[in-house]
C-alpha cells in the first residue's frame, strides 16, 4: 500500500506505474482517492476550526457569567452545542471517507522497481542466469507420478476418494525423501543464520489483507466457515503477520527467519497436462524464508534470498535458472520478484520451484510494522522466498537423479536424512 502523501505529490507517476502493470481499469482510482483525500483534509480543517472556536467561546461564556450577562451566556452555550453537534457529524463523515481511502489505497498497486522489465504476463518474464548444465539422458524419463509409483510411493486414487482431486498419499521411501528434503532445507537455512520457526497454520482476516491483495486472497485462500480464520497458503503469511502492530527498534533488524508449514491453496484456474499428478495441488508442505529489514537493506537481502534457493538446489545436483518477473506478472504488493526454475529432463524445459519477492513497505504499511530509528520512525521492508516446496520440488529431484535402471540416486547432502541410503531401488 502506497503512502497517500506520495500519491498526492506524484499522481502521474502512480498512473504510469498502473499502465506499466497493464491495469488501466484502475487509473480512475487515483483521481478518486485524491478527491477523497482533499475531502478528508477539508473535514479535518473544519473540525480543527470548530474546536478552536469552542475554546474561544467557552472563555467568553465565563466572562459573561461573571458580568451577569446570563442571556448572552446562554446564546454562546447554544453555539458551543451546535458546534459540538457539527464536530460529531464531521467525525462520523471523516471515518467513512478514511475507510473509502484505505480501500482504494489497498487496490492501487505498489510502485515497481525501475529495473523490472515491462510485460503483460509470465510469458514475457526474462531469464537472468542459469546454474548447472541441463542434461537430457539417453533413456526415457517417465512422468513423475509413474516414477513415484515404481517405488510404491504415491496413491492418488485413495486420496481422491478421501479428499478429492488435488490431494495425495506419499508412502515409503518417497514419503521419507519428502521429509528428508524439508529437514535438509531447514538445516541449510539455519546454517545461513536464519532462525527456525513453526508458525500458526491459520490466520485472521486482517492479517490476510495485510499480506496480499484482494485478488490473490480470493484465488488462493480457504476460509474457515463461521470463524474469522483462513488456512495459510504459505507460511510467509503468518510469519509476516507475527510483526503486526509492532514497533521494532532499529537494532533488532534485520529479522531473518525460516519457517516450516503445510500450505493450502484453491489453485483457481489450474489446467493443462502438468496440472495433474502433484505439480499443482491443494495441499503441500514448504520451507520458507522471510526478512524484515531497513529500507536501504532490502535490495541486498533480495539478492541473498534467491541465491539461497539456487545454492540449495545445486547442492542436490539440480540445474536451475532465475527469471526476472515482468511488470504484468507482479502481484500488486510487490516491488520486484524473480522465480527460481528447476530443469525438467522429461519436459526438456524449466519449471517454477520457488519465488523470491521484495514487497518494499507495502505489507508493513498494511500491518503497522514500524521501526524506531535514531532520528525517526519508519515502516520496515519485508521480503520472502521459497527454500523448498515438496512435493513439487520432488519432481525436479526425481527426474534429475533418476538412473537408467529406474533407481534414484541420493545426493551426498541428503544421505544423512535418509538413514545413509545412497539410492532408492524400484519396488515395481
Q: Are the C-beta atoms of residues 364 and 370 closer than 8 Å to each other?
A: yes
Q: Which residue has the higher pLDDT, 181 or 61?
A: 181
Q: Are the C-beta atoms of residues 268 and 384 closer than 8 Å to each other?
A: no
Burial class from Cβ neighbours inside 10 Å (0-12, 13-18, 19+) for residue 272 reads exposed
| Residue showing cell 508493513 | 364
- For the record, the C-alpha cell of 35 comes out as 478527491
Architecture of domain 122-424: 2-Layer Sandwich (3.30)
d(CA 17, CA 110): 8
d(CA 400, CA 395): 8
Helix locations, 69-213, DSSP H? 70-105, 144-150, 156-162, 172-191, 205-211
Query: β-strand 195-197 against 255-264: which pairing, if any?
Result: parallel
Q: Are the C-beta atoms of residues 329 and 216 closer than 8 Å to each other?
A: no
Residue 252 confidence (pLDDT) above 70: yes
Each as own residue / partner, the long-range contacts of residues 301-306 (CB below 8 Å, 24 or more positions apart, any chain) are 301/254, 301/358, 301/383, 302/336, 302/356, 302/358, 302/383, 305/356, 305/383, 305/384, 305/385, 306/338, 306/340, 306/354, 306/356, 306/385
Residue-wise pLDDT for 284-322, tens only, equals: 999 999 999 999 999 999 999 999 999 999 999 999 999
Architecture of domain 4-105: Orthogonal Bundle (1.10)
d(CA 146, CA 186): 28
Q: What is the pTM of this model?
A: 0.90
Residue-wise pLDDT for 166-188, tens only, equals: 899 999 999 999 999 999 999 99
Q: Give the residue among 267, 256, 265 at the shortest CA–CA distance from 305.
A: 256
Helix locations, 106-171, DSSP H? 144-150, 156-162
Spatial strand order of the sheet with 246-249 comes to 246-249, 369-372, 377-379
Q: Please, where in the chain does CATH 3.30.930.10 lie? A: 122-424
E-assigned strands of 178-252? 195-197, 202-203, 222-223, 230-231, 246-249
Q: Give the residue among 216, 303, 314, 226 at the shortest CA–CA distance from 267.
A: 216
Tell me the DSSP string of 372-392. E-SS-EEE-EEEEEEEE-TTH
| Residue showing cell 506499466 | 20
Residue 391, preceding bond cis, omega within 30 degrees? yes
- If one counts every other C-beta atom within 10 angstroms of the C-beta of residue 281, the result is 21
Residue 271 confidence (pLDDT) above 50: no
3-state secondary structure of 306: helix
Cβ neighbours of residue 173 under 8 Å, at least 6 residues apart?
A: 151, 153, 421, 424
| Residue showing cell 504415491 | 154
Give Cα separations from 228 to 106, 107, 199, 244, 368 (angstroms). Answer: 20, 22, 18, 17, 20
| pLDDT at res. 165 | 86
Q: Please, where in the chain does CATH 1.10.287.40 lie? A: 4-105
d(CA 22, CA 163): 38
What's the rounded mean pLDDT across residues 53-79? 80
d(CA 384, CA 369): 15
Residue 397 confidence (pLDDT) above 60: yes
Lowest mean pLDDT among 23-37, 186-200, 267-281: 267-281
What's the rounded mean pLDDT across residues 71-88? 83
d(CA 274, CA 312): 24
| Residue showing cell 480464520 | 229
Residue-wise pLDDT for 314-363, tens only, equals: 999 999 999 999 999 999 999 999 999 999 999 999 999 999 999 999 99
| Residue showing cell 524506531 | 372
| Residue showing cell 541420493 | 410
Residue-wise pLDDT for 134-159, tens only, equals: 999 999 999 999 999 999 999 999 99
Give Cα separations from 264 to 115, 186, 390, 396 (angstroms). Answer: 32, 20, 13, 21
Query: How many Å separate Cα 328 from the centre of its chain?
Result: 16
- For the record, the C-alpha cell of 62 comes out as 465565563
Amino acid at each position: 500500500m502506497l503512502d497517500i502523501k506520495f500519491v498526492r505529490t506524484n499522481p502521474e507517476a502512480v498512473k504510469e506505474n498502473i499502465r506499466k502493470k497493464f491495469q488501466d481499469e484502475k487509473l480512475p482510482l487515483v483521481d478518486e482517492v485524491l478527491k477523497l483525500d482533499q475531502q478528508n483534509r477539508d473535514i479535518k480543517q473544519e473540525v480543527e476550526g470548530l474546536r478552536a472556536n469552542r475554546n474561544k467561546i467557552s472563555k467568553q461564556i465565563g466572562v459573561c457569567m461573571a458580568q451577569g450577562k446570563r442571556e448572552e451566556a446562554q446564546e454562546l452555550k447554544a453555539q458551543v452545542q451546535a458546534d459540538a453537534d457539527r464536530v460529531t457529524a464531521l467525525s462520523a463523515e471523516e471515518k467513512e471517507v478514511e475507510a473509502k481511502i484505505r480501500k482504494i489505497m489497498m487496490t492501487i498497486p505498489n510502485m515497481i522497481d525501475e529495473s523490472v522489465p515491462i510485460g503483460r504476463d509470465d510469458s514475457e518474464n526474462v531469464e537472468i542466469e542459469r546454474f548447472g548444465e541441463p542434461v537430457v539422458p539417453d533413456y526415457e524419463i517417465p512422468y513423475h507420478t509413474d516414477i513415484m509409483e515404481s517405488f510404491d510411493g504415491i496413491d492418488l486414487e485413495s486420496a481422491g476418494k478421501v479428499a478429492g482431486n488435488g490431494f495425495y498419499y506419499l508412502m515409503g521411501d518417497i514419503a521419507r525423501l519428502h521429509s528428508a528434503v524439508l529437514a535438509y532445507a531447514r538445516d541449510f537455512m539455519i546454517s545461513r543464520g536464519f532462525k527456525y520457526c513453526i508458525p500458526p497454520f491459520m490466520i485472521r482476516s486482517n492479517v490476510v489483507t495485510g499480506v496480499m491483495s484482494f485478488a490473490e486472497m480470493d484465488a488462493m485462500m480457504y476460509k474457515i466457515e463461521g470463524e474469522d480464520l483462513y488456512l495459510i497458503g504459505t507460511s510467509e503469511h503468518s510469519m509476516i503477520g507475527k510483526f503486526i502492530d509492532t514497533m521494532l527498534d532499529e537494532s533488532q533488524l534485520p529479522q531473518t527467519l525460516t519457517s516450516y508449514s503445510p500450505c493450502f491453496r484453491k489453485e483457481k484456474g489450474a489446467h493443462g497436462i502438468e496440472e495433474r499428478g502433484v505439480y499443482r495441488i491443494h495441499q503441500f508442505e514448504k520451507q520458507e524464508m522471510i526478512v524484515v529489514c531497513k529500507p536501504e537493506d532490502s535490495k541486498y537481502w533480495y539478492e541473498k534470498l534467491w541465491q539461497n534457493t539456487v545454492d540449495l538446489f545445486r547442492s542436490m545436483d539440480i540445474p536451475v535458472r532465475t527469471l526476472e518477473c515482468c511488470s504484468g506478472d507482479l502481484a500488486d504488493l510487490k516491488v520486484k520478484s524473480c522465480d527460481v526454475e528447476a530443469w525438467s529432463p522429461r519436459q526438456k524445459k524449466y519449471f517454477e520451484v520457488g519465488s523470491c519477492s521484495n514487497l518494499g513497505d507495502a505489507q508493513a504499511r498494511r500491518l503497522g510494522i514500524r521501526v524506531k530509528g535514531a532520528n525517526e520512525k519508519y515502516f520496515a521492508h519485508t521480503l520472502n522466498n521459497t527454500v523448498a516446496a515438496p512435493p513439487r520440488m520432488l519432481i525436479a529431484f526425481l527426474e534429475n537423479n533418476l538412473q537408467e535402471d529406474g533407481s534414484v540416486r541420493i545426493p551426498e547432502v541428503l544421505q544423512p536424512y535418509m538413514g545413509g541410503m545412497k539410492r532408492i531401488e524400484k519396488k515395481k
